[in-house]
Amino acid sequence: MTGNTDFSKSEQYTLSIRLSTDGFSFSVFNPHNNAETLISDYPIDESLSLTANLKNAFNDTECLQHNYLRVNILMAGQRVTYMPLELFEDEQAEEIFYYNHPKQANETILYNILSNNNLVVLFSIDKSTKNFLTERFPNAKFFAQSTPLIDFFSTKSRLGNCRKLYAHLRKEGMELFAYERGRILLANSFPCKETADQVYYLLYIWKQLGFEQERDELHLTGKFLAKEALMQELQKYIKQVFIMNPATNLDFQAITSCE
């Protein structure tokens, strides 16, 4: 946990909640003082449902017991689908989503529209979890974790003349986003836990996109289980490899500017 937050002023702040099978994370951001941010992690009990874990977190975590100006809910997971905005019809959201993912009981399909990137991000959330969060925070906005990252990386990728591949790593997988000077070329996710699998998927996408070994850039963020080993392997094949800071909580940084 970081920061020294005055919760008597919480109604001026933004609360962001990241839900993942890895555990929950919470961020409190004061828009009037960019340096004042509290970040807290909460482990989950795998024998309990997502909603039961969330109820325990609300009982145990001080930052969840206040009201906020804005509340963002970030869903981290593999059940995400991307499609061009011009082809999207909201009444077809479920049909499109289930074309790519098997149906699961008690879930709701939501979507985020990224007009600047001409993209729609469709994702799922457990119905009881959504109802619980909406009851507690009626003004809550729901996002796929990749949604703020896509816009954030798009802005970053405009710097310089090279193409860029961004990898957001998590315990059970990673999300990849490729750009050419702000224009998104690819958004995809892969389930992988081991360094060797991470290297395989990164180099596979790099080759598929025809990125240049000497000139184009690979940027890494998220949770690194073996950072040195990953960097060592990647630098055998790609010259420009960077770790973005703050690597672990970049999605919380990105969501503060996401509408």
Q: Where are the beta strands (DSSP E) in 8-158?
A: 14-19, 24-29, 37-42, 70-75, 80-84, 107-114, 119-126, 141-144
Q: What is the pLDDT of residues 75-88, one digit of tens each?
A: 988 899 999 999 99
pLDDT score, position 246: 65
Q: What percent of the chain has pLDDT over 70?
A: 95
Boundary-marking domain end, from 144, 172, 197 = 144
Q: What is the pLDDT of residues 170-226, one digit of tens each?
A: 877 899 999 999 999 999 988 888 999 999 999 999 999 999 999 999 999 988 778
What is the DSSP pairing of strand 240-243 with strand 217-222? parallel
> Is 80 exceeded by the pLDDT of residue 1?
no
> Is 90 exceeded by the pLDDT of residue 249?
no
Instruction: Say how many domains are in the chain.
Output: 2
**Do 66 and 186 fall within a single domain?**
no
**Do 99 and 174 fall within a single domain?**
no
Tokens of 130: 């959504």
Inside any domain, residue 258: no
Q: What is the pLDDT of residues 31-69, one digit of tens each?
A: 887 655 778 889 989 899 999 999 999 999 989 999 999
Phi first, then psi: what are they for 74, rounded to 5°?
A: -105, 125
Inside any domain, residue 257: no
Residue 240 burial class via C-beta count within 10 angstroms: exposed 0-12, middle 13-18, buried 19 and up = middle
- Lowest model confidence (mean pLDDT) among 12-16, 150-154, 171-175: 171-175
**Do 132 and 239 fall within a single domain?**
no
User: 3-class DSSP state for residue 83?
Assistant: strand
**Do 132 and 24 fall within a single domain?**
yes
CATH number at residue 74: 3.30.420.250
CATH number at residue 232: 3.30.420.260
Closest to 31 measured CA to CA, from 49, 5, 60, 66:
5
Structural domain boundaries, residue 233: 149-252
**Do 115 and 22 fall within a single domain?**
yes
